[in-house]
Structure 1
Amino acid sequence: MTTTHLISGGARSGKSRYAESLALQHGGAVCYVATAERRSDAAFAERIAHHRARRPAHWSLAEVGRNLGEALLQAAPGSLVLVDCLGMWLMRFFDEDGQFDAGAWQQQRSSLLAVLAAPPAQIVLVSNEVGWGVVPLGAETRHFVDELGRLNQDVAAVCQRVTLVACGQPLVLKGAA
């Protein structure tokens, strides 16, 4: 049986490292699905380099655009797909002016949830937990927080396992530890 596992936590909580540790324990092939857009920002490039340095060279890499669900359908049976992260994927639906492509988002979001309901492989998804602070002042930021919060809830509902990571420590919220 293939399983799905959502791992959520705040910035620098250790969620990606925890997800990678689970993938390292997998006996079969691992595909790392990177969802972030490449940017010229030096600090962001440094974060990407840090993530790359932690990954074993034998893991395959898929850089996806908006079509995450379609990319997951390409997974080989018996493999593990690690998606990092859902927040960066959501950012692909906002343009440089902060406009949100609601139609494309709803279509791709539905596609992802359908794949997670019947996954072709073991899937581990990393996401940011962004709703624990104050309500953001900017409309674009509030919209992002609202959409990611709703996405996390819906993904958690279809996943067999859900883990919250805080201070590098995993707390199982759903499923077996």
Structure 2
Amino acid sequence: MSIALPPLTLVLGGARSGKSGLAERLVSATGRPRIYIATAEAWDDEMRDRIAAHRSDRGGGWDTREAPHDLAGALVQVPAGAVVLLDCATLWLTNRMLADADLVAEGAGLLAALAGCAAPVVVVSNEVGWSIVPENALARRFRDVQGRLNQQLAGQAGLVVAVMAGLPLVLKGALPPGAL
């Protein structure tokens, strides 16, 4: 049985909450060709290990596209019959922040690209606002920008799911029958 997803789904959670696994199951349940848009950059051995673990966990059958900076460019190339897993908005925002990009313009560009994508997109993003207030200005700025981006993504999404301890909590919309 295949499920139908809205044009945009947002899956939020903390580190190691199970959000990527849930997003992978949702995308796989559609029965469509799966495109994985990866935003991580392998800055060091630990990050290379994390990327390898993600690839191993999701298994084969994915068309993986690396887009650490140009998500809009990656999204316009998606065919209508596919489904996209964008993992994750948090690393993409980090990449753009470290590149000294205009983050307001970047966020607006991402939202427009998602709205114009020919296929359904499931975006994974970290919820970074439930922790302590960061001690430095850069970290506080990131937390604030990420929070605003998550709000904008949630506003545009037809389905928003928070994941805690591997358990989904639907915040907006409804999980399609057979999704899990």
TM-score clears 0.5: yes
Equivalent residue in structure 2 for 1:55, among 54, 58, 68:
58
2:79 corresponds to 1:79? no
Contact persistence 1:78–1:122 (CA under 8 A): no
Equivalent residue in structure 2 for 1:19, among 2, 23, 27:
23
Mapped partners of 1:32, 1:12: distance in 2: 19
2:78 corresponds to 1:94? no
CA RMSD of aligned residues (A): 1.5
Find the counterpart in structure 2 of residue 35 from structure 1. Answer: 39
Contact persistence 1:2–1:119 (CA under 8 A): no
Mapped partners of 1:9, 1:31: distance in 2: 21
Find the counterpart in structure 1 of residue 121 from structure 2. Answer: 123
Aligned amino acid, residue 174 of structure 1: K
* Structure 1 counterpart SS, 2:149: helix
Mapped partners of 1:145, 1:32: distance in 2: 25
Equivalent residue in structure 1 for 2:71, among 68, 71, 74:
68
Contact persistence 1:86–1:127 (CA under 8 A): yes
Give the 4+ runs in structure 1 shifted more than 6 A: none
Gaps of 5+ in 2: 176-180
Contact persistence 1:116–1:159 (CA under 8 A): no
Give CA deviations for 1:19-74 in whole Å, capped at 9, x if unaligned.
0111221211101010011212x222221111000223221010003211221111
Find the counterpart in structure 2 of residue 164 from structure 1. Answer: 162
Identity percentage of aligned residues: 44
Contact persistence 1:7–1:127 (CA under 8 A): yes
Find the counterpart in structure 2 of residue 142 from structure 1. Answer: 140
Q: How many residues align?
A: 171
Contact persistence 1:67–1:108 (CA under 8 A): no
Find the counterpart in structure 2 of residue 10 from structure 1. Answer: 14
* Structure 1 counterpart SS, 2:170: strand
Q: 1:2 offset after TM fit, Å? A: 5.3
Find the counterpart in structure 1 of residue 178 from structure 2. Answer: none
Contact persistence 1:69–1:108 (CA under 8 A): no
Equivalent residue in structure 2 for 1:133, among 131, 134, 138:
131
Find the counterpart in structure 1 of residue 49 from structure 2. Answer: 46
CA separation of 1:7 and 1:146: change in aligned 2, threshold 3 A: same
Contact persistence 1:68–1:108 (CA under 8 A): no
Contact persistence 1:6–1:155 (CA under 8 A): yes
Contact persistence 1:2–1:121 (CA under 8 A): no
